[in-house]
């Protein structure tokens, strides 16, 4: 309602209408003054002629002045706004009639305001993420650094001479260094994937064969927790896919290692493949502890841990799932996760079939 009223009010002050009304007012004033100063009965035809001459002259002068100074300035403002929004001074705005310029400026400014608000919202989200990420990085790095520092100081304070302590502390310090190297390596991998510096070496390979290789490499780790790693119907599921075999191997390793770490003893983790036309869906499902629903949207964030104390006890850098997500997205695909507490978790991603 207010907008309609504003548009109606604005239409009254357009140069042509304003010129007409102002010219009429001046003509009436001039004729009235003429009648007052004239002697005797005025000639009606002369009065009407005088009225029309005054009105026409006033209209032409006022309309020309307003049109020149009002619409020329408005048109200049319109050009500047359009060029500023486009980001190029060479951009040529579309031609508009005079009465279309002000509504168009209003429309552009409303859209621009909406875009800027959305941009500010995204920047705030990025800033929160950046602060959280820096906090997580510093925390993840401090733990092994302080551990290494403690062991080295103990050795320097005399522990180096104790044969029962020196080798043990050096071994523990070495594990802390290995953890630091793992974190840095994983961060470097993510940085390359995000920056597009990680070139994919796409080739055709048999996905069941790759899954079987990964399972065999993790067999000892799984046996420690009495967990079985299996491919469901391997002979029926054989599919040739197109992708970077080494990176997809890393995806399967990370997902299967996660299922072993957080799976229950005597549990089973299945790798299942399904034909979806031009794609193959790969699912890694376990019957472990599961994940609460509110954690799922953030599960692929760097250093995000569902249970921080338990996750660190299990080892790892906290970057495995972030790497998985970036690898799958680098292939132009998506990965999803579904989970129920006490029932287990399923990670699913797609790969293009090889022609």
* Residue 33 lies in domain: 2-95
Q: Are residues 309 and 210 in the same domain?
A: yes
What is the per-residue pLDDT across 122-172, written as a single tens digit (0 to 9) for each?
Answer: 888 778 777 776 776 777 778 788 888 888 888 888 878 877 788 888 888
Do residues 226 and 266 lie in contact, with contact meaning Cβ atoms separated by under 8 Å? Answer: yes
Does residue 103 lie within any of the structural domains? no
Q: Is residue 156 located within the same domain as residue 252? A: no
One domain for residues 257 and 322: yes
In a domain, 168, yes or no: yes
Same domain, 328 and 240: yes
Q: Is 76 within a domain?
A: yes
Rounded Cα distance, 234 and 255, in Å: 18
For residues 73-84, average pLDDT: 78
CATH number of domain containing 243: 3.30.565.10
pLDDT at 173 over 70: yes
What's the whole-number mean pLDDT along residues 203-217?
91
Q: Based on the domain organization, do 16 and 31 belong to the same domain?
A: yes
Residues 228 and 322 in one domain: yes
Same domain for 343 and 225, yes or no, is: yes
Residue whose structure tokens are 């996660």: 258
Q: Is the pLDDT confidence value at 58 over 90?
A: no
Rounded Cα–Cα distance for residues 12 and 296 (Å): 58
- Worst-scoring range by mean pLDDT, 166-180, 190-204, 220-234, 319-333? 190-204
Give the global pTM.
0.60
Question: What mean pLDDT comes out for the span 64-79?
Answer: 74
CA pair distance 339, 320, nearest whole angstrom: 18
Computed over every residue of the chain, the mean pLDDT equals: 80
Residue 309's pLDDT is 47
Q: Which of 163, 195, 227 is the last residue of a domain?
A: 195
Predicted pLDDT at 1 = 46
The strand ranges marked E within 99-239 are: 202-206, 228-231
Confidence of residue 212 (pLDDT cuts 50, 70, 90): very high
Nearest Cα neighbor of 291 from 211, 330, 345 is: 345
Q: Please tell me whether residues 180 and 213 are part of one structural domain.
A: no
What's the structural domain count of the chain? 3
């Amino acid at each position: 309602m207010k907008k309609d009223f504003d548009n109606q009010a604005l239409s009254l002050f357009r140069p042509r209408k304003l010129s007409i009304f102002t010219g009429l007012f001046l003509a009436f004033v001039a004729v009235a003054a003429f009648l007052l100063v004239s002697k005797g009965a005025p000639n009606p035809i002369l009065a009407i002629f005088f009225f029309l001459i005054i009105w026409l002259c006033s209209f032409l002068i006022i309309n020309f002045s307003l049109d020149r100074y009002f619409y020329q300035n408005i048109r200049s403002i319109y050009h500047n706004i359009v060029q500023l929004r486009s980001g190029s001074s060479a951009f040529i705005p579309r031609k508009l009639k005079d009465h279309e310029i002000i509504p168009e400026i209003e429309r552009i400014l409303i859209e621009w305001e909406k875009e800027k608000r959305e941009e500010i919202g995204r920047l705030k989200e990025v800033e929160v993420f950046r602060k959280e990420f820096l906090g997580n990085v510093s925390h993840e790095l401090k733990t092994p650094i302080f551990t290494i520092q403690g062991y080295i100081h103990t050795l320097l304070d005399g522990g180096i001479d104790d044969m029962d302590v020196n080798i043990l502390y050096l071994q523990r310090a070495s594990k802390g260094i290995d953890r630091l190297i793992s974190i840095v390596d994983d961060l470097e991998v993510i940085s390359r994937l995000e920056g597009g510096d990680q070139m994919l070496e796409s080739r055709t390979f048999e996905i069941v064969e790759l899954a079987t290789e990964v399972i065999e490499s993790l067999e000892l780790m799984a046996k420690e927790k009495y967990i079985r790693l299996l491919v469901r119907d391997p002979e029926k599921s054989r599919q040739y896919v197109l992708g970077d075999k080494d990176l997809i191997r890393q995806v399967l390793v990370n997902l299967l290692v996660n299922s072993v770490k957080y799976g229950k003893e005597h549990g089973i983790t299945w790798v299942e493949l399904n034909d979806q036309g031009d794609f193959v869906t790969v699912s890694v499902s376990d019957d472990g502890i599961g994940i609460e629903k509110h954690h799922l949207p953030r599960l692929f964030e760097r250093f995000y841990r569902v249970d921080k104390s338990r996750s660190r006890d299990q080892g790892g850098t906290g970057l495995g799932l972030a790497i998985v997500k970036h690898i799958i997205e680098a292939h132009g695909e998506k990965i999803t996760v579904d989970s129920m507490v006490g029932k287990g978790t399923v990670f699913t991603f797609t790969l293009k079939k090889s022609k």
